[in-house]
C-alpha cells in the first residue's frame, strides 16, 4: 500500500515539474516575417518604369539630359521603352518604401535622387551614389484599385509626388521627371512592368 502511494507521488512530482518547465520556457517561438518583404506592394527586381500618361506612346523612364541645355548631367526622363537604359531595379528598404536603382553599364549602380534634397516643387531627379538618404527613398502608394497596377511615388523627405516637369501635357520624348505638388493626374502615376534580364533583348 505504502509502495503504491509512493509511486503515485513520484508520477505527480514528475508531471508538475514538466508543467513548470513548459510555463518557464513559454510557447514555441513564431517567426515574424521580414517587414521589408512581407506585404510590400512590389517585389524587388528589374522593371520598366512607365509614366501612365505616356504608356500608349511606349515611353519609359530612362537616362537623358535637360532639354534647355542648362547642364549636361544625367537625369531621369521619358524615353522609348525599346532599348531603354540604364536598367531600373527596385529595392524595398521599408514597408512600401523603395530605392530606385539604375544599373548603368558604364557608371555602375546609382540611386534616383531628388536634387539637393529640395523640399519644394520642380526639383529634378537624377542618379547619384546610393547613401540611404530620405531624398533617395520613395513611398509607393497604389493609385486606385489594385487591378489598375499604377503607383504614386512620394519622396520620403518631402511627401510630394514624382511626375513630369510640365505636368500631364508633357508627353514628349526627353521630358524630365521632377518632384511636384501632388495633383492626382496621370503623369504622377507609374506602371512597373517586369523587364527582361540584361542581354536577353526586348
Distance of CA 92 to the CA centre of its chain: 5
Mean model confidence pLDDT for the chain: 84
Is a pLDDT exceeding 70 seen at residue 172? yes
Whole-number Å distance between alpha carbons of 188 and 18: 62
Asked if residue 20 belongs to a domain, the reply is no
List pLDDT tens digits, range 80-128: 999 999 999 999 999 999 999 999 988 899 999 999 999 999 999 999 9
pLDDT band at 199 (very low <50, low <70, confident <90, very high): low
Between the alpha carbon of residue 66 and those of residues 12, 20, 105, 188, the distances in Å are: 83, 72, 21, 19
pLDDT score of 11: 41
Asked if residue 120 belongs to a domain, the reply is yes
Tell me if residue 121 falls in helix, strand or coil.
coil
Asked if residue 31 belongs to a domain, the reply is no
Q: What pTM value is reported for the model?
A: 0.79
Asked if residue 2 belongs to a domain, the reply is no
Asked if residue 199 belongs to a domain, the reply is no
Tell me how crowded residue 173 is: count the other CB atoms within 10 A of its CB: 13
pLDDT score of 156: 98
φ/ψ of residue 138, rounded to 5: -130, 130
DSSP for 21-53 reads: HHHHH-SPP-PPPPTTTTT-SS-SEEEEEEEGG
Query: For residue 151, what is the domain's CATH number?
Result: 2.80.10.50
Asked if residue 81 belongs to a domain, the reply is yes
**Domain ranges, residue 165:** 45-194
Asked if residue 101 belongs to a domain, the reply is yes
Least confident piece of the model among 37-41, 46-50, 99-103, 136-140: 37-41
Residues of the chain with pLDDT > 70: what percent?
Answer: 78
**Bridge partner list, 92:** 98
Asked if residue 9 belongs to a domain, the reply is no
| Domain count across the chain | 1
Query: How much is the average pLDDT of 176-181?
Result: 98
Amino acid at each position: 500500500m505504502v509502495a503504491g502511494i509512493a509511486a503515485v507521488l513520484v508520477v505527480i512530482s514528475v508531471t508538475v515539474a514538466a508543467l513548470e518547465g513548459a510555463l518557464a520556457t513559454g510557447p514555441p517561438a513564431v517567426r515574424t516575417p521580414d517587414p521589408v518583404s512581407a506585404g510590400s506592394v512590389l517585389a524587388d527586381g528589374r522593371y520598366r518604369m512607365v509614366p501612365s500618361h505616356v504608356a500608349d506612346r511606349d515611353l519609359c523612364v530612362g537616362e537623358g539630359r535637360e532639354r534647355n541645355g542648362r547642364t549636361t548631367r544625367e537625369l531621369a526622363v521619358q524615353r522609348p521603352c525599346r532599348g531603354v537604359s540604364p536598367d531600373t531595379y527596385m529595392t524595398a528598404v521599408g514597408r512600401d518604401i523603395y530605392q530606385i536603382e539604375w544599373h548603368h553599364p558604364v557608371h555602375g549602380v546609382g540611386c534616383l535622387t531628388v536634387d539637393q534634397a529640395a523640399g519644394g516643387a520642380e526639383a529634378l531627379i537624377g542618379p547619384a551614389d546610393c547613401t540611404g538618404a530620405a531624398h533617395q527613398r520613395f513611398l509607393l502608394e497604389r493609385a486606385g484599385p489594385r487591378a489598375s497596377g499604377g503607383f504614386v511615388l512620394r519622396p520620403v523627405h518631402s511627401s510630394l509626388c514624382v511626375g513630369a516637369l510640365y505636368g500631364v501635357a508633357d508627353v514628349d520624348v526627353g521630358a524630365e521627371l521632377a518632384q511636384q505638388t501632388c495633383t492626382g493626374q496621370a503623369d504622377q502615376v507609374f506602371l512597373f512592368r517586369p523587364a527582361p534580364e540584361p542581354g536577353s533583348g526586348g
